[in-house]
A and B are shown apart, each in its own frame.
Chain A
Amino acid sequence: MGASKGQKLSGMQRQVLSLYRGFLRAARLKPTEDRRQIESIVSAEFRRNSKQVDRKNFLYIEYLLRRGKKQLDQLKSPDTIGLSSCNVSSSKKKC
């Protein structure tokens, strides 16, 4: 997803950026310390995938988008404050 601004973004790229925005917005509602942690984990995860995932691998990106949306829904719930980091990092650990 190395497209820079000014270039026309594909629909999928826009979905990814929209999801990222959603995560950052959800993080705002958490206490400051949790928020920093969530932001750094989310940012690292998006950047990692943007480098590792082939931009033509639409099926996998769609899967990541679906999974991200579910994780975002969980993060939005006021109950998940401590769990939020585990939610996001679960993609690495498969917990």
Chain B
Amino acid sequence: MASLAGSSISMQPRQTLATSRVSGLKLVSFVNRGRSSLSFRLRPDRLRISCAAKPETVDKVCEIVRKQLALPSDKAVTGESKFAELGADSLDTVEIVMGLEEEFGITVEEDNAQSISTVHDAAELIDKLCGEKSA
């Protein structure tokens, strides 16, 4: 009797384990379908960044920002770098945007220029404007 009860109890957790595993698989496959195969839920920001702007645009923006702010070569400039964190004031940011306009042959509207605060913001906007220009 006792052994029977024991076996019936051990069945229940196995069942719940199995269902939870199935639902886990479902979640993963759903995420895979919605986004690219790189679905790391820990860093949603990085995923967005790697998908939105072209890497060559980001590199070019980094280069121009480095030149404009006269940053030393050992200072890291990446897509997530904020202009303010790199030591740029609002006047520097205006200069950076003007430099980008010339480099890429685009015109950034004043409203858009105010909202740029990271390298990635700039690269995203440039890709958008370049796309509009070629279309």
Contact = CB atoms under 8 A, between A and B. Distances in A.
A9 B95 contact: no
B91 A13 contact: no
Interface string B83-108: 11000111101110110001000000
Contacts of A13: 90
Contact of B84 (A6, A28, A47, A50): A6
A5 B117 contact: yes
A5 B116 contact: yes
A8 B88 CA distance: 16
A21 B98 contact: yes
Given A4-B84, A25-B98, A9 B91 contact: no
Given A5-B84, A5-B117, A6-B117, A21 B110 contact: yes
Contacts of A21: 94, 97-98, 110, 113
Contacts, number: 49
A14 B113 CA distance: 11
Chain B interface bracket (under 10, 10 to 19, 20 to 34, 35 or more): 10 to 19
A90 interface: no
Nearest to A28: B102
B90 A47 contact: no
A5 B90 contact: yes
A47 B89 CA distance: 10
B82 interface: yes
Contact of A9 (B83, B84, B114): B114
Given A5-B90, A18-B110, A21-B110, 7 more contacts: A3-B89, A4-B83, A4-B89, A6-B82, A17-B114, A24-B95, A46-B91
Interface of A: 1-6, 9, 13-14, 17-18, 20-21, 24-25, 28, 43, 46-47, 50
Interface of B: 82-84, 88-91, 93-95, 97-98, 102, 110, 113-114, 116-117
